[in-house]
Structure 1
Amino acid sequence: MSLVVLNYFDRQTLSVLKPIVKADLTLDDKAYSLLTFAFMLPYIVMYVASGRLIERFGTRICMSLFAIGWSIANIASGMSHNFAQLAASRALLGAAEPGVFPIIQRAILNWVPVERRALAIGIVMPAGNLGAILAPPLVAVMTAGIGWRAAFIIPGLIGVSIAMLWWFADTKQAPPPSLDTAQPVAPDEEAASISALLRDKRYWAIIAVRMISDPVWYFYLFWIAGYLQERVGLSLSELGLVGSIPYIVAMLACLVAGRFVDRAAARGHDPIRIQLRLFAITAALMPLGALITMTSSVAIALLIITIVVSVCQTWFVGFNVLLAGLFPVKINASAVGMLGAVGASTSLILNLLAGFILAQFDYVALFAGLAILHPISAVILFVVIGRTRPKPRTTAVESAATSGVAT
């Protein structure tokens, strides 16, 4: 769990320090766009490769190497004195960080019973939010006390230490399933393969949706801290006080969503259909993001940002619930890796162009365009996946009693 927290802390540090680093290294928004590109290009490649590496070498070796790699990258970021050095450090960070998420997915499917998976995913997957929660105040404190470089170097040294602890702790293999605890096996488990996955139109629907919706999260992750400082007027210390609010609420939202899906499944409802309904409800909130630039109130801006971040995080949890319910366990790590890569690919394009868009149209165009992506995605999921799910068979009384929960 601590490595997941550090994963997000380390990637969030630069966005929190954006105004200070830009001034110290003489960078502009176009250069910052290129820094996000330097992070995301290897991030995409390694998201695809990490799933296969995990299935080949296991979680012990892969997590240790990934964590040491991104920690060294973070230390190098703090030692950078020009754009080229910082871009190289961000590239190494991008190559090392994505593997943690396929590892988590594989571990949950191996160890957690089916009836508790949605809650487990809802707890563990958003754990990275703790890093995003801790980043604004801790980065502000370290920067004020010993300089912005320490905000990169100190977490990097901690990450190397924890990675070494992981190597010595992750020595056990998953126990073989007993007759009492064996999990249900998908009908096509033995025939599971990447080629079969890529022939499934449901997976292609999820791929399309991730390509459409993921840029919203990555834009907010890399740009919103700078926006709050440069456009809303927060100081770094003020950002440290309130910048973690969206991520705290997002964690709670993921817990509630995971618990809701599990409880509905325990009552006999199809968890996939429940998850699709949650996608639709939360997507309806996303157009609020277009209103951020229309307010000068810090409180209202934070409220809108909190809603958008919470929806993005519950969607990421929901995608893992869909993968766990639709596809065999043995290819879930690869499925997660490929999805992360395709989602990051369109996010890379947006972040590369963001600096140029800001120079021409300011933030209004960006926030307005991002506000419609989740509603479009929800429609695709319902059209493709919703139609493949068997309709629930209930009596008129049962239908009336459960109409407020799911269909």
Structure 2
Amino acid sequence: MSLVVLNYFDRQTLSILKPIVKTALDFDDHAYSLLTFAFMLPYIVMYVVSGRLIDRFGTRICMTVFAVGWSIANIASGMSHSFAHLAASRAFLGAAEPGVFPALQRAILNWVPVERRTLAISIVTPAGNLGAILAPPMIALLATAFSWRGAFIIPGIIGIGVALLWWFTDSREAPAAKRVEQAPAAAPASATSLLKDKRFLAIVAVRMISDPVWYFYLFWIPGYLQERVGLSLSELGLVGGIPYLVAMLSCLMLGRFVDRRTGRGHDTIRVQLWLLGITAALMPLGALITMTSSAFLAILIITIVISVCQIWFVGFNVLLAGLFPANVNASAVGMLGAVGASTSLLLNLFAGSIVMQFGYLAIFAGLAVLHPISAVILALVIGRTRPKHATA
């Protein structure tokens, strides 16, 4: 779990230090969009590749290589003396970071019994929020004490050490390796056959629609709070982690709720679809962010949106674990992460130009309707094909 915490910590560094780094390396919001593009293009490609690698070689070697890679990229970001150097470092970071998520999904399916999986997924999936919670105060402290470069370099060094710990502690053989997990009768037997399953294709479509909300908030909200709401870097350090803390607690409570319902004989998939629909109804509140000058109200709305995004990411992994066998889950997570990041890449590529020409309102209003649309798609495709009294 410490690796996913570092994963999110490292990717937050640039967005938190955006105003400082923009001044130091002399670039604008349009160029910042190019930095997010440089991160996300290899991120998309490696999401697919890393999932297949994990299914082939396991979590021990793959996670170690990925973590060392993104830590080196973070150190390189701190050593950048030009925009081009920073862009190259962000591309390297994007190539190394996505492997952590399919690795965690595969580890859970290997080690955790089905009646506890939702809670396990609810703990591990939003664990990165700890990194996002720690990032604002720690990065502000590091930048103040060692300059903005130290805020990149020091966490990178720590990350290499944690990666080596993973290598020595990860088991070579999980319990799942000693048993054959029975897959649902209609479940795909290979990663490529997933693409012929309409349930998986529905989840693909939904990730393409809804993921841009998360990526925009991840990359742009810290700068928005400083440049438009008026928070200083130290103030952001105090309150910037609140949305992620609330999101993590929300995932834990709802994960426990789903497991309890499953234990009482309810179908996990139907319960999860119901939760996704209820939480999606909250997302239109995101359109109101630019209509308030209150930092409290802005952070409250941001907290709701980020919490829903995280609840949905947990929900996607629960759907994958319940609908498809373990031997294709890492590949499924990789493919879904890639398609979601693809549409997110397009948004972030043009976000700077949109903000400069039309302001933030156009983007926030558009993002506010994406989760409700996604909830309808899931209900129509997966909900209708699910037996009403199915058990997990």
* TM-score (normalised: structure 2): 0.97
> 3-state SS of the aligned residue for 1:97?
helix
Distance 1:58 1:293 in 2: 45
User: Which whole-Å CA distance do the structure 2 matches of 1:241 and 1:362 have between them?
Assistant: 26
Partner of 2:133: 133
Q: Which amino acid aligns with 2:49?
A: A
Measured on the aligned residues, the alpha-carbon RMSD in Å equals 1.5
Residues 188 and 324 in structure 2, CA contact (< 8 A), matched pair in contact too: no
2:223 aligned partner, one-letter code:
G
Matches within 5 A, 1:131-280: 131-175=131-175, 185-188=182-185, 192-280=189-277
Kindly state the Cα deviation for residue 187 of structure 1 after the two structures are TM-superposed: 3.5
Q: Is the 8 A contact 1:113 1:183 kept in 2?
A: no
Partner amino acid for 2:325?
P
Any idea what SS the aligned residue of 1:22 has?
Answer: helix
Which of 283, 297, 305 matches 2:302?
Answer: 305
Partner of 1:373: 370
* 1:307 to partner: Cα distance: 0.1
What is residue 66 of structure 1 aligned with on the other side? Answer: 66
Code of the residue aligned with 1:211 in structure 2: it is M
Runs of 4+ in 1 over 2 A off after TM superposition: 175-178, 187-191
Distance in 2 (alpha carbons) for counterparts of 1:277 and 1:190: 22
Answering whether residue 50 of structure 2 is matched by residue 16 of structure 1, we say no
Matched letter for residue 324 of structure 1: A
Counterpart secondary structure, 1:63: helix
Percent same amino acid among aligned pairs?
76
Q: Is the contact between residue 115 and residue 266 of structure 1 (CA under 8 Å) also seen in structure 2?
A: yes
**Number of aligned positions between the proteins:** 391
1:11-50 counterparts in 2 under 5 A?
11-50=11-50
Distance of 2:4 and 2:176 partners within structure 1: 27
Deviations, residues 67-89 of structure 1 (Å, cap 9, x unaligned): 01000000000000111000000
Is the CA contact (8 Å cut-off) linking 1:189 and 1:328 kept in structure 2?
no
Task: Establish whether residue 318 from structure 1 lines up as the match of residue 319 from structure 2.
Answer: no
The 2-side partners of 1:134 and 1:314 are apart by: 20
The answer for unaligned runs of 5 or more in structure 1 is 394-407
One-letter identity of the residue aligned with 1:158: I
Q: Pick one of 322, 327, 333 that aligns with 2:324.
A: 327
Alpha-carbon distance, 1:195 to partner: 2.6
Q: Distance in 2 between matches of 1:128 and 1:327?
A: 25
Contact 1:279 1:315 (8 Å CA) reproduced:
yes
Q: Secondary structure at the match of 1:192?
A: coil
C-alpha separation between the residues in 2 aligned to 1:175 and 1:293?
Answer: 50
Say if 1:45 and 1:341, in contact at 8 Å, map to a contact too. Answer: yes
Of stretches 157-166 and 79-88 in structure 1, the one that deviates more from structure 2 is 157-166
SS of the counterpart of 1:391?
coil
Q: Following TM superposition, by how much is the alpha carbon of 1:171 offset from its aligned partner in structure 2, in angstroms?
A: 4.0
Deviation at 1:191, TM superposition (A): 6.2
Contact 1:287 1:372 in 2 (8 A): yes
Aligned partner letter, 1:31:
A
Tell me, in whole angstroms, the C-alpha distance in 1 between the residues paired with 2:166 and 2:177.
25
2:57 alignment partner in structure 1: 57
Rg bigger for which structure?
Answer: 1
Query: Aligned AA for 1:166?
Result: W
TM-score norm. by structure 1 comes to 0.94
- Partner residue of 2:289? 292
